[in-house]
Amino acid sequence: MSKTAGNNSKTLPKFDPVPSAKFACEVLNELKIDGILIGRLAVWMYLPDTSEHAYTKDFDVAVSKKNRL
């Protein structure tokens, strides 16, 4: 997948997931709930070539059914 959307030649905007990740970890740790990274950011971990990353601003975390609030 390319860094551009459609026929637009502009580079996709950047998203720094670190602040969201820190917040999610703080919440999960405070509640003593295990979570797992899912979604596009999880896929980024397995696609080292950033040209294959599709843009996202989402930080998705899954928790077990028993830990849902």
Note whether residue 51 is domain-resident: yes
Q: What is the pLDDT of residue 23?
A: 93
Residue 10 lies in a domain: no
Owning domain of residue 33: 18-63
The answer to the question of residue 50 being in a domain is yes
**Cβ pair 48, 23 in contact under 8 A:** no
Task: Give the separation between CA 6 and CA 29, rounded to whole angstroms.
Answer: 40
Measured CA to CA in angstroms, residue 19 lies from 22, 47, 49, 61, 69 at distances of 5, 21, 23, 14, 22
The pLDDT, as a whole number, for residue 9 is 54
For residue 5, the model assigns a pLDDT of 46
Domain annotation covers residue 58: yes
Q: Render each residue's pLDDT in the chain as its tens digit; 69 residues.
A: 444 445 445 676 777 888 988 999 999 999 999 998 888 888 877 887 877 777 778 888 999 888 876
Any domain includes 11 = no
Q: Please tell me whether the overall predicted TM-score, pTM, comes out greater than 0.75 for this model.
A: no
Look at residue 10 in the predicted model and tell me its pLDDT.
Answer: 63
